[in-house]
Structure 1
Amino acid sequence: MKLVTRAQWGARAYRTPSGATPYGRARKGVKVHYLGSAYSDRTHDKCAAYVRSLQNSHMDGNGWSDIGYSFVVCTHGYSFEGRGLKRRNSANGNTSLNDQDYAVCALVGSSGLTQPTDPQLNGIRDTIEYCREKGPAGDWLGGHRDGYATTCPGGPLYAWVKKGAPRPNGSTTPEEEDPMAAITKTDIFNAVWKTDGIPAPSDADDVKTNVNWQALSVLRDIQARVRANTQTEAAQSAAIAKLAQLVGSDVDTAAVVAAVEKAIKDAVVKVDVDINGPAA
């Protein structure tokens, strides 16, 4: 749901005590409204200003304590918080009807723009589900005209409401979309391996283009390095032991050096065989 809070759209403070009246009972459901006057579509950056003008009309023209609706949904699919989930609306016709259902208004008119957009229908549907989940509201759904003598919410919108307010053209909510659909192997490499500091199994230039490598190659490389270090330490220990045996013996320096070099060479050959296998 693309919710725009009162603070975000620049709402005036509501008047008390009437504007702070809570619902007196559980909400039966949601009533859908339209403006009932001419409306022209606009770019989304102008929608907040229109909602502010609507609030001014309700407070200064009608004498109400706040904007009348619970939520207002623009043609771009954004839901502007009006009186919200907790404060009783003043749009459904009388106090009993206001207390019974939430009031969700679509920014479409009786002339000008009369047909809701697909993003708007999705936004209204999002708002209905939000009212049901967070309100909470029951499953009942209708138009302003249900229970009150009015043409609201107009023919096109009311026909959609009576169908159960389906998502247009089989579209899905953002939650149903695959969040991994746009993520590539390069994204995973950059986000995980580079962050963790694990070296790639090739030089830096290759890594930039070779994004098909797997973590297993890194682990094998680490295991080989550990074995090599372990066996090199063993060779060094063997060389030290050999030197110890020769201490005090009547041998020359060249013989000692030769013995150490042979011990290390034997160990290195063994390491190479263990890691790479015997030569073909």
Structure 2
Amino acid sequence: MALKLVSRSQWGARAYLTPNGATPYSGPRRGVKLHYLGTPYSDRPHEQCAAYIRQLQAQHMDGNGWSDIGYSFAVCTHGYVHEGRGLKRRNSANGNTTLNEQDYAVLMLVGSTGLTKPTDEQLHGARDAIEYCRKEGPAGDWLGGHRDGYATACPGDSVYAWVQAGAPRPKASTPEEATVALSDDDAKKVAKATLTIDGVIANPNPATAKKNTHISLATAARNIEIVTRRTETRLAALQATVDKLVSLIGSGVDTKTVVAAVEKAIADAVIKVDIDVTGPGAS
């Protein structure tokens, strides 16, 4: 899936404080750590997500005294990846300077109560963020949660289980096939409607048709196959007729010869296939 990146200017970020907010990573990152909010969270329309990210930034800067929002990226439930400190500036969310230097910090907007399980869109977005960090960071293949190496419940059991599984993309959901329970009477009606297609009478033993609906339906399917083969044969013969006409046009052959050739081709096209589905050759 394509990364749905929301830049700082797009979500309305405040300018980070210098010099600390501009501290670059000193080397490549080992990997990526996932985080959650650790507070109650309720899902909201995507139009309100930017305001919530701004609220987080204000909490970190004005409440915690940090130089910027603490995370490298924040992923909303709609799968959008909001740029925090980004790829180049060291985050402040992993617990201490060493841990912040070691891994990127990707927040998923899920809480300790309320919305506690990420949506499929959010899982895709978080996976996009991980791959973006690995490709552009650079970050290594290591993947973990905030709790790895630091005493915390973050990123919550649901997100952490996903991380431990390798952060897979959710499987595409496919609608289940509808199961239609036909009554015996309905099945008999279907059999009656299909057993006489193109004049083919199919029940191998009419006396048992009322008792053996399944056999009747199977025979009906066989008849449909026969009709299909007849149709295919006739279409092939008609195509041969057209080819014959094309070959004769402009060849200097007189009209009488052309008419005779066409009449013969049409006669050949009307192929009469007489298949006895109840005989030894039926399958």
TM-score, scaled to structure 2: 0.61
| Amino acid of the structure 1 residue aligned with 2:21 | G
For 2:27, the equivalent position in structure 1 comes to: 25
In the comparison of the two structures, how many residue pairs are matched?
A: 176
Aligned runs of 1:130-149 on 2, under 5 Å? 130-149=132-151
| Amino acid of the structure 2 residue aligned with 1:79 | V
Q: 1:147 and 1:23 mapped to 2: Cα distance?
A: 19
| Amino acid of the structure 2 residue aligned with 1:15 | L
Q: Aligned match of 1:169 in 171, 187, 190?
A: 171
- CA deviation string 1:122-172 (max 9, x = no partner): 10001000000000100000000000000000010000100000011258x
Aligned runs of 1:82-93 on 2, under 5 Å? 82-93=84-95
Aligned runs of 1:190-201 on 2, under 5 Å? none
Q: 2:252 and 2:132 mapped to 1: Cα distance?
A: 69
Q: Aligned match of 2:17 in 15, 18, 29?
A: 15
Deviation at 1:279, TM superposition (A): 6.6
For 2:69, the equivalent position in structure 1 comes to: 67
For 2:100, the equivalent position in structure 1 comes to: 98
Aligned runs of 1:223-242 on 2, under 5 Å? none
For 1:125, the equivalent position in structure 2 comes to: 127
Deviation at 1:60, TM superposition (A): 0.5
For 2:117, the equivalent position in structure 1 comes to: 115
Secondary structure, aligned partner of 1:66:
coil
Q: 2:138 and 2:7 mapped to 1: Cα distance?
A: 19
Query: What RMSD in Å do the two structures reach over aligned CA positions?
Result: 1.3
The change in CA–CA distance for 1:13 and 1:279 in structure 2 (over 3 A counts) is farther
Secondary structure, aligned partner of 1:64:
coil
Secondary structure, aligned partner of 1:112:
coil
Secondary structure, aligned partner of 2:21:
helix
Q: 1:158 and 1:18 mapped to 2: Cα distance?
A: 30
Residue 60 of structure 2 corresponds to residue 54 of structure 1: no
Segments of 5+ residues of structure 1 without an aligned counterpart are 172-275
TM-score, scaled to structure 1: 0.61
| Amino acid of the structure 1 residue aligned with 2:67 | S
Q: 2:62 and 2:38 mapped to 1: Cα distance?
A: 18
Q: 1:59 and 1:75 mapped to 2: Cα distance?
A: 24
- CA deviation string 1:213-259 (max 9, x = no partner): xxxxxxxxxxxxxxxxxxxxxxxxxxxxxxxxxxxxxxxxxxxxxxx
Q: 1:3 and 1:124 mapped to 2: Cα distance?
A: 11
Q: 1:85 and 1:104 mapped to 2: Cα distance?
A: 11
Q: 2:102 and 2:141 mapped to 1: Cα distance?
A: 12
The change in CA–CA distance for 1:80 and 1:278 in structure 2 (over 3 A counts) is same
The change in CA–CA distance for 1:133 and 1:111 in structure 2 (over 3 A counts) is same
Secondary structure, aligned partner of 1:104:
strand
| Amino acid of the structure 1 residue aligned with 2:96 | N
Q: 1:158 and 1:91 mapped to 2: Cα distance?
A: 16
| Amino acid of the structure 2 residue aligned with 1:74 | C
Secondary structure, aligned partner of 1:39:
coil
Q: Aligned match of 1:43 in 23, 42, 45?
A: 45
Aligned runs of 1:173-184 on 2, under 5 Å? none
Segments of 5+ residues of structure 2 without an aligned counterpart are 174-248, 254-283
Secondary structure, aligned partner of 1:72:
strand
Deviation at 1:278, TM superposition (A): 6.2
